[in-house]
Chains A and B, each alone.
Chain A
Amino acid sequence: MNAFIRADKVCKTFATRDGSPTLAVDHVDLHIDGAEFVSLLGPSGCGKSTLLSLVAGLIQPSSGGVEVGGAQVKAPYTNVGIVFQSDLLLDWRTVLGNVLVQFEMRGEDPRPHEARARQLIASVGLAGFESKYPWELSGGMRQRVSICRALIHEPPLLLMDEPFGALDALTREQMQVDLQRIWQSSRKTVIFVTHSISEAVFLSDRVVVMTPRPGKIREVMRIDLPRPRAIDVRDTPEFAAYVRHINKLFQEMGVIH
């Protein structure tokens, strides 16, 4: 079966400051189908962000290969939207301008896309804020802009590295609900990095549980909860069972003791 994203025996070693090499990702095999929502879940330093960067082509594997859409990733893969934990919005652009930066960076004229950008901004609940500057927005609002920026060019793939990590708990929950809604309407492939078990279970079709460094895949779990998932799905026994299973895995790995 031809998966949309393939990682085959991917390893990544980094040289640390004192010269000794660190193995961040250890022989990871992963296949992801189109329109899947997959979470990479694990403790800090387990290599999940590294794996994401490898898929994005921002770094190259030390051995093994990464393919996206059938082609080897040797350079930054540009048909993608990326959302980092820090929103990285440009201070000198308005909300609208920041969303359209996606085209500006590609050297394309952003003007034909303006109408759709406004629609996208409205769809995340920021209608009326198009002319505001990032410093006039709250953290959650800024992150929403960042998500719009990642979606405006309609990429088939969305890479998100702990996008809600800097937000407060209530905003975070709201953003999870909103993300699910956005994803459902567009059905992109999403790779979502998190260290929150409940976040991973709530959002994903599959959860990839990773070991502490050097990062290997411990288990890939299918989450068979019906969609769309309302926020109170977290109170169901099925949800609790998934969470309990993952907790046990972490205990076995010594991550929680």
Chain B
Amino acid sequence: MLRRLIGTLLLSALAAAAHAQPLEKVTLRLDWVNSGYHAIWYLAVDRGLFKAEGIDLEVLEGRGSSVVAQTVGNGSVMFGTSDTGAVMGLASQGLPIKIVGGYLRQSPFALIFPKKNNWTSFADLARGNPKIGMAPGSGAAVLLPAVLKAQGLEGKVQLINMEPAAKPTALLEGRVDAIESFDFLQVPLLEASGMPSATLPFAKAGINVPGLSLITSQDMIRKNPALVRKMVGLMQKTIELGRKEPDAAIDALLKRAPTLKRDVVTQVLKLSFNLIETDATKGRPIGWMSPQVMEQSQDILMQYGQIKTKQPVESYFTNEFVPGS
């Protein structure tokens, strides 16, 4: 009788202790302001995925991969999603960050243009000296010269500098013939504004530097590897949940950003799913990065001055935290 009482008390004490265990506060900064493809994170938070693993996740909006990477590097935020190319460039300059899991492992960058241009391959751009709108410093703009060179288009197109926000309008108004950008972002916007659009992905030109990845500081890896592993695993779950329930994800997004247009952001989210898997990652868990692709990416980035000295590719990323790899 007494043993039973002590046992019950002990169990309840343990249960209470487990409940009383405070959630670990974790911050994640996204690459940009709220957009369709960010919906998966909000759905995962709302469904308690992070809480179930003892994490109180704060999702923050960012201002471009470069700035996000720098704020991860200086420790002002714990995790971030940033474009792989941008991360590699900064890491090679000594920023103490590392990719711990790939998210959009196919390059999202593409030339986007009105369907009526009738371009089916990069070779079609060789005629007519087309104008390409680009925002200097953006992820795609950095890789554009590599694309042009690989396709023998150097000197055959005009590059017009503009502010990122001006790109879609410039295309809609016909001031440029194409723009560089994230394909899944721009196509829905342009079509919603009445212009059927097509894309020429940079990957098709052989320039396939992976897109957004989950990054953290080297400090975090050293001090709290368990948390890093948890976060990569949670990213896998987040992506899977989002793919399964895109509409619920959009609901979660619109709760936080009510000014966004539902049909546009839904299309953006669905298009982003196309970039999660690539040929190189077939059969591998979500988050796993191909060392071969990373080597090729370093070569491309070195060619265009983003990386000055060759480093062992393991300095940019690690698969050690990817569950199932």
Q: Are A and B in direct contact (Cβ within 8 Å)?
A: no
The chain B residues found within 8 Å of chain A, CB to CB, are none
